[in-house]
Chain A
Amino acid sequence: MEIKKRIEYFKKLFSDTTDLASREIKTKDGDTVGILWIENVIDQLLLTQGVIKPLQNFSKSGNDDVVKQATEKFVAFSKVNEPKDEQTMIENILNGFVAILFENTEKVLVVECASWKVRVPAEPPTSAVTEGPREGFVEDFITNLALIRKRLKTPNLKVDKMKIGRETNSQVRLIYLKNVADPQIVSKIKKKLNRIDIDGIVDSHYLAEFLTTSKHSIFKQIGSTEKPDVAVAKILEGRVAILVDGSPIVLTVPYILLEDLQSSNDYYTTPARATILRYLRLTAAIIGIMLPGLYVALLTFHIKAIPIKLLITIANSIQGIPLPPLLEILFIIFLFEVLYEASLRMPRYMGLALSVVGALILGDTAVKAGLVSSPAVLIVAITGVMSYTLPEQSTQISMLRLIFTVIGGVLGVFGIIVGTFFLIGYLVNMDSYGSPYLAPFAPYIKSDMKDSLKRQSIMQMKKRPKSIHTDNARRQKDDRD
């Protein structure tokens, strides 16, 4: 087939898309060579200097295979190959390769010239640290893989390749330490991923939903991080990291609740300080969940339990408020959540205006107008702030806060106790790839308590967490060995 006709044929395969560029080149021998590539995903300079120019100077010698001779011309490229079928060739072109078509042969040569627009690794906004590495993952999975490799220079680091999404053909990588990660967990994850049949995945969170075990739970079941140091620490503990092309969020499996109570900052400070911070986070999270519910319960059912001075203050504030405590708190929570959602989506230059509207108009004016009381605003504001001490759990905390507020308002302290019992009972039943969700507290795992609420010195953490199934428990040489 003529080169022109073959180019037309491939263009048809690409639905006549306008960003599939092509060109015909005359070689030194006078033969015609066709090249095909996707505009904007390749390096133009590399294309002209590395592909077009050598092809113009190319001349056949003897009766040897023309494709083989051309391959030798492109020896400077890291990836040059002959795709085994049409589908592979299409995939290569979509991934930033230039396809070269020769006369009198059906064979094709592909040369990688990809140049994707990549963001420079920067500190992720959600995981800032005062001390410690500031690099964050980006949207390019090759860069992300390099950031992990940079920290794990071992032949035991295994990277398994997968492709998910019929239309997006998203590259997915499973990363784990071959000598540490439990093969059963790895194969279970692979099985789940292989079973996915979807048109496309836009972000790693799509995969997270496929990997969860309790589909209707409001609780997070898959770990996620934007920081390579955190991902590496989790891989070292025996977890499996999942990278998705186009997402700066790396997933980690198995996941336990304690993970979000720990921050990477904890390991870059003294154990005592880290311990205090962890207790602080836990206390803040509990207050964040319970306080509005308790406030409503006390005001509605158990007013005698409030200390007299505080009761007088509250009574003065709630005088003339048209709403009962439950509706009042729910109304403020609703306003708070609306402001939060709006602030996330509003253009940044509008942020200041929104703060003014939120703090002054909605807060102060509503209190002055007698629509809501100042203790109620204060309680919702405090709990709102407290829920962000665990940023990765903030959505769960705000949902639980709402649930406990309603229970407290309907049943009083009895409801809060019953709710707490149910919450604990529910959480102890959850399991993430064999790891109990509330480990190491329930079931109690003594050795894992070294890095739970209390953080001991890294020197004392000689073994990997038992709550994560691993093939190799030892991290450090024991003095007794």
Chain B
Amino acid sequence: MTEISTRQFIIIAIVLLLASKLDTMLAVVYSVASTDAIISIILNFVLELLLIFAITVVIKRNPDTNLFELLKKKFTVVGAYIIILLLGLYLLARLVYCYQELYSFFLEFLYDDFSPYIFALPTFFVTGYLAFKGARSLGRTLEIVIWFILIGLAISVVCNVEYMSFVSNMPYFENGASPMLDGTWRSTFFFGNSLCLLFFVGKVKFSDHFIGKTVGICAITSLITVAICFIIYDVFGYAMQYVIFALSEYAQYDPFILELQRLTWLTAIVDIAKLFCATSVFVYGLGQIGKSVMKTRSTLIPIIINFLLVFSIATIINYDLYTLMDLVTSVFSFATLGLIALTIIICIILMIKRRQNEQKFIQ
């Protein structure tokens, strides 16, 4: 049953593209790739766009089935479970990171002291509510919230453009291509968000040129995001590796704005909205996985279990964002790179199998 329109699907894709990219990711990539960070980001965006393209083709070609059914049909039940669980692990890691990012952000910018329990309950409740209500609810909510995010982002960025200097990112390839490649694969974790789009298989009402529109708009969003990353890198220069919440600290960089203090608030709200939306989509994906695996009618129990897992992991790592960032640049990014490659291969197999079936039918 179709639940979301093409427009809503594209908005979800935009939110996933933006999530985390303008915050901790910039510092993580810069710490590895230094001045070549922007090239690493471009390469990762190309990879994510490729992923989006592959997923949209699969969605377009399979309008009447959900992801789990589709995987079961093409890769047997065992294969489907393995793929779904791998996706689930990624989403869980991503959810933990998003949740931790959001909490650290509050602690850094908005509160002197903020209990993780007080943070957890409302966050889990609202993101869980949106995810529990399903794709339709998620799509419609994001349809409204996206405007706040985009307008806030535009204002935040435009106000500080005058402080950028084109030289602080130079020179590129100072130490050959290896820092750039290192930066690319050590930050892939942030570029796997679009894997979540797989959970919208069979739920999108297509408009004309569905694939073209989706990929085109995502490409434009990626270009704009790269441009913002470029501006931020230029403003901060070598200090970038110490800037954890890039967008918000970027707003604080301007002495005039700092005096006003209002822009930091605007960017803070944009950041929170962005992370909230992305978290809801991740929870939705995890809910769908739980529903398929546990064979429950509703996603309520899987969502609650996921929250308990996230809360436990966050407590184990003692709510330390730096521990997570270390994991991201090593294990998580390797695993994500593998998962993205695997997903693209799966999508290609699904396309080929479908084409073979169509040819058989014609014969």
Does B associate with A? yes
- Rounded to whole Å, the gap between the CB of B108 and the closest CB of chain A is 13
Instruction: Give chain B interface residues in 128-162, CB to chain A under 8 Å.
Output: 129-130, 133, 136-137, 139-141, 143-145
- Interface flag for A436 (CB, 8 Å): yes
- Interface flag for A30 (CB, 8 Å): no
**Residues of A contacting B265 in the complex (Cβ-Cβ under 8 angstroms):** 305
Instruction: Give chain B interface residues in 234-292, CB to chain A under 8 Å.
Output: 260-262, 265, 269, 272-273, 276
* Partner pick for B8 among A302, A417, A429, A443, CB 8 A cutoff: A443
**Residues of A contacting B144 in the complex (Cβ-Cβ under 8 angstroms):** 424, 428, 438, 441-442
Which A-chain residue is minimally distant from B276 (CB atoms)? A421
- Interface flag for A444 (CB, 8 Å): yes
Q: Are the C-beta atoms of B129 and A436 separated by less than 8 Å?
A: no
**Residues of A contacting B322 in the complex (Cβ-Cβ under 8 angstroms):** none
**Residues of B contacting A302 in the complex (Cβ-Cβ under 8 angstroms):** 110-111
Q: Are the C-beta atoms of A421 and B111 separated by less than 8 Å?
A: no
- Interface flag for A418 (CB, 8 Å): yes
* Partner pick for A424 among B8, B122, B145, CB 8 A cutoff: B145
- Interface flag for A412 (CB, 8 Å): yes
- Interface flag for B126 (CB, 8 Å): yes
A414 with B119, Cβ < 8 A, contacts A304-B261, A422-B129 known: yes
**Residues of A contacting B140 in the complex (Cβ-Cβ under 8 angstroms):** 428-429, 436, 438, 442-443
Count, chain B residues at interface, CB 8 A: 32
Q: Are the C-beta atoms of B145 and A421 separated by less than 8 Å?
A: yes
Specify which of B119, B122, B261, B273 lies most central, judged by the most chain A CB atoms within 10 Å of its CB: B122
A421 with B110, Cβ < 8 A, contacts A438-B144, A444-B7 known: no
Q: Are the C-beta atoms of A428 and B141 separated by less than 8 Å?
A: yes
Specify which of A411, A424, A426 lies most central, judged by the most chain B CB atoms within 10 Å of its CB: A424
Q: How far is the CA of A202 from the CA of B41 in the complex (A)?
A: 67
- Interface flag for B5 (CB, 8 Å): yes
Q: Are the C-beta atoms of A442 and B122 separated by less than 8 Å?
A: no
Q: How far is the CA of A438 from the CA of B137 in the complex (A)?
A: 11
Q: How far is the CA of A429 from the CA of B129 in the complex (A)?
A: 11
**Residues of A contacting B133 in the complex (Cβ-Cβ under 8 angstroms):** 425, 429
**Residues of A contacting B130 in the complex (Cβ-Cβ under 8 angstroms):** 421, 425
* Partner pick for B141 among A301, A413, A417, A442, CB 8 A cutoff: A442
- Interface flag for A307 (CB, 8 Å): yes
Q: Are the C-beta atoms of A418 and B123 separated by less than 8 Å?
A: yes
Q: How far is the CA of A406 from the CA of B145 in the complex (A)?
A: 23
Q: How far is the CA of A307 from the CA of B140 in the complex (A)?
A: 35
Q: Are the C-beta atoms of B126 and A425 separated by less than 8 Å?
A: yes
- Interface flag for A293 (CB, 8 Å): no
* Partner pick for A418 among B5, B114, B126, B261, CB 8 A cutoff: B126
- Interface flag for B106 (CB, 8 Å): yes
Q: Are the C-beta atoms of B141 and A425 separated by less than 8 Å?
A: yes
A301 with B111, Cβ < 8 A, contacts A307-B261, A425-B130, A425-B133 known: yes
**Residues of B contacting A414 in the complex (Cβ-Cβ under 8 angstroms):** 106, 110-111, 114, 119, 122, 272
Q: How far is the CA of A466 from the CA of B2 in the complex (A)?
A: 18
- Rounded to whole Å, the gap between the CB of A294 and the closest CB of chain B is 11
A444 with B143, Cβ < 8 A, contacts A414-B119, A415-B122, A421-B130 known: yes
Q: Are the C-beta atoms of B118 and A443 separated by less than 8 Å?
A: no
**Residues of B contacting A301 in the complex (Cβ-Cβ under 8 angstroms):** 110-111
Instruction: Give chain B interface residues in 1-49, CB to chain A under 8 Å.
Output: 5, 7-8
Instruction: Give chain A interface residues in 4-60, CB to chain B under 8 Å.
Output: none
Q: How far is the CA of A134 from the CA of B141 in the complex (A)?
A: 39
A422 with B126, Cβ < 8 A, contacts A302-B110, A417-B276, A442-B144 known: yes
Q: Are the C-beta atoms of A425 and B137 separated by less than 8 Å?
A: yes
Q: How far is the CA of A411 from the CA of B120 in the complex (A)?
A: 12
Q: Are the C-beta atoms of A418 and B141 separated by less than 8 Å?
A: no
Which A-chain residue is minimally distant from B119 (CB atoms)? A414
Q: How far is the CA of A236 from the CA of B57 in the complex (A)?
A: 42
Q: How far is the CA of A45 from the CA of B120 in the complex (A)?
A: 77
- Rounded to whole Å, the gap between the CB of A213 and the closest CB of chain B is 15
Q: Are the C-beta atoms of A441 and B111 separated by less than 8 Å?
A: no
Q: How far is the CA of A301 from the CA of B262 in the complex (A)?
A: 16
- Rounded to whole Å, the gap between the CB of B101 and the closest CB of chain A is 14
- Rounded to whole Å, the gap between the CB of B148 and the closest CB of chain A is 9
Q: Are the C-beta atoms of B272 and A305 separated by less than 8 Å?
A: no
**Residues of A contacting B145 in the complex (Cβ-Cβ under 8 angstroms):** 421, 424
**Residues of A contacting B276 in the complex (Cβ-Cβ under 8 angstroms):** 417-418, 421
- Rounded to whole Å, the gap between the CB of A452 and the closest CB of chain B is 13
Given contacts A421-B273, A429-B137, A438-B140, 20 further A-B contacts (CB under 8 A): A302-B110, A307-B261, A412-B110, A413-B110, A414-B106, A414-B110, A417-B269, A418-B122, A421-B126, A421-B130, A421-B145, A422-B129, A424-B141, A425-B126, A425-B130, A426-B129, A428-B141, A429-B140, A438-B144, A442-B140
Q: Which residues of B contact A (CB under 8 A)?
A: 5, 7-8, 106, 110-111, 114, 118-119, 122-123, 125-126, 129-130, 133, 136-137, 139-141, 143-145, 260-262, 265, 269, 272-273, 276
**What are 17 residue pairs bridging A and B, where the CB atoms are less than 8 Å apart in the complex?**
A304-B261, A305-B261, A305-B265, A411-B118, A414-B106, A414-B114, A414-B122, A418-B123, A422-B125, A422-B126, A424-B145, A425-B126, A428-B137, A438-B144, A442-B140, A443-B5, A443-B8
5 residue pairs, one from A and one from B, having the closest CB atoms:
A428-B140, A442-B140, A418-B122, A442-B143, A425-B130
Q: Which residues of A contact B (CB under 8 A)?
A: 301-302, 304-305, 307, 411-415, 417-418, 421-422, 424-426, 428-429, 436, 438, 441-444
